Amino acid sequence: MKTLLTVALLSLSSAAFAADKCPISGKPADSSITSTGKDGKTVSFCCEKCKAKFDAKNK
């Protein structure tokens, strides 16, 4: 039972630390490069170029 609980906790903790991905390129996102989507959620990008593409589509 301890082993099962340990595995479950490790799975949850690794999911929490998974890096966000850029919605344009799929690369790891930089949390300092963000924009707000139409739904009001903050979105992170890998670079300014991807942010500009997102912003152009979401005007």
Q: How high is the pLDDT of residue 3?
A: 64
Q: Measure Cα distances from 6 to 16, 17, 57 in Å.
A: 15, 17, 44
| Residue 24, domain extent | 19-59
Q: Answer yes or no: is pLDDT of 58 > 70.
A: yes
Residue 24 located in a structural domain = yes
Reduced to 3 states (helix: H, G, I; strand: E, B; else coil), residue 55 is: helix
Residue 8 located in a structural domain = no
> Could you give the dihedral angle defined by the CA atoms of residues 12, 25, 38 and 32, in that order, rounded to the nearest 10 degrees?
70
Residue 31 located in a structural domain = yes
Residue 26 located in a structural domain = yes
Residue 54 located in a structural domain = yes
Residue 52 located in a structural domain = yes
Query: 28 vs 12, which has greater pLDDT?
Result: 28
Residue 5 located in a structural domain = no
> Residue 50: how many CA atoms within 13 Å on its side-chain side?
17
Q: How high is the pLDDT of residue 2?
A: 63
pTM over 0.75: no
Where helices occur in the chain by DSSP H, the ranges are 2-16, 48-57
